[in-house]
Structure 1
Amino acid sequence: MKAVVLERFGGPEELRLSEVARPEPGPGQVRVHVRTAGVNPFDGKVRSGSMEAVFRTSLPTILGSEVAGVVDAVGPDVTGLAVGDAVFGFADSGSYAEYTLATSVARKPEGLSWEHAVTLPVAGETTDRVLRLLDVQPGETLLVHGAAGGVGSVAVQVAVAAGLRVIGTAGPDNQEHVAALGATPTTYGEGLVERVRALAPEGIDAVFDVAGKGALPDSIELRGGTDRIVTIADSAAGELGVVFTGGPQQRSAERLAELADLAVQGKLRTTVAATFPLAEAAEAHRVSGAGHVRGKIVLTA
């Protein structure tokens, strides 16, 4: 099968389309014929090697933790799924490929496109995990760095629905988009502390850093310490005493189904920023790495 293989850390050009053996499902796994794969900023940080201090990767590897596609083979001990089922969820063996293995997947509703289905797994799981770590409560104010991206946009909506006031940072072109998600928008960069204090003179209760673009020192100043700050993208977290949390840890098929239902009902808005064929994974990473992406970048296989 064709897969995008990373053999050494470096720039997007290190992502190369190659022929590799098609994986065989083990106990509890299904093999998915990939229709779409999600591209996350975290993938780019893994590719570059910048996450090695907090998230080790053995090479060669196939990147990608989100998949939507059709079940192609079923391993032992799998119940409730059969060959031909349309599913989406978390890839076990890397989703930048024609086929991948998966343990935690849900059926894809007919009303949810392949592209939009693959926006949900990482964003939903990460949001749930970080909000638990932050122990946010209704009425509190949450600052989200990177509010317009694939994870950030879902985090904003889930937090608002939970009764939080959200301030979301994003690029100048994404201010209206962040506002439409239910957050109070502001821009990145110099003067951030002053802008946030003007928007929330009563203070910030918690910070969720999705962007990993050097906003942690400002976040610490706003919080008056490192308590209740979590990043999923800044490798400097350890040096600053901030909590870093890595890839998906609680992969729930039931939660995936709930998110899909909310999306189909129009209660959870998902945005696809751009789609690229598998062979153009390097270009997808270049676009992702440039920042200010509105929503999720998706690979199509």
Structure 2
Amino acid sequence: MLCPFKRLLLDALKDRRAVGAFNVGNLEMLLGIVKAAEESNTPVILQIAEKRFSHSPLEYIAPMLHAAAMRAKVEIALELDHGCTLFNVRRSMDLGFNTIMFDGSMFHVDKNIEETKKIADEAHARGVALEAEIGVVGGAEGGAEMQANCASLSDIIKLGTQSSCDALAVAIGNAHGHYKGVPKLNFKLLEDAHNALPDLPLVLHGGTGISLSDFRKAITMGIAKINIATANFDAIVTASQKYTKTSDPKSSNYFSLNELMVEEVYNTTLAHIKVFNNQEPLESINF
């Protein structure tokens, strides 16, 4: 069932867990994610980044995500991830997304606050939540390689208190895509940010590649939402590679490949959900 984004995150913050926000690129990814959410009886967020529209057109994928959320046995919120243009922000709201992540991190903090607040005010008037971002999350989410750049505590507090955002993604050394080396997260900055903004859910982008223990540590310091994209895109590729290596070309068919893709995404998503729920011992999770 479609549910409010803000309530999902506030509940998670109170319970010292995090909601998994999983990017969706096709039907197989969607089926695998929803299957994992339902079998674990865990709310999730389904999202797509604006930069992915060339591969997964918004007008096609938005109705699919909305239908999945309405039919699911667990609570689901829908988010436009890394919305950069007002045109696509408005299109997403028109098509049923109940959360907008506006990425104003490329701006100076004052400009970021100004632009984020404008979109937050419009979104809130339509009953839509708003996630903001501060600092540079490295990797290639914006279409070009970016060096990770931790936000300053003062800027985090400023954006968190002045932008009317419902959640705040903070750059603490995390990056999108595959990490080059071992991620080194600035937990002192995260702890200080949570202490300064105890009622504002914080978000960790670039979740793929972060260690399980670091996930759990971040959750204890105010992270209430963790984004996962690359891991499930990789799962689709892995399923395809397995299928071509093991199947007889004469008997190969789409339906068997579809089932394998769904299963790979399901396994990847379920493992992340178990980590984020912050209950099972890490050594018991098949990651």
Structure showing the higher helix proportion among its residues: 2
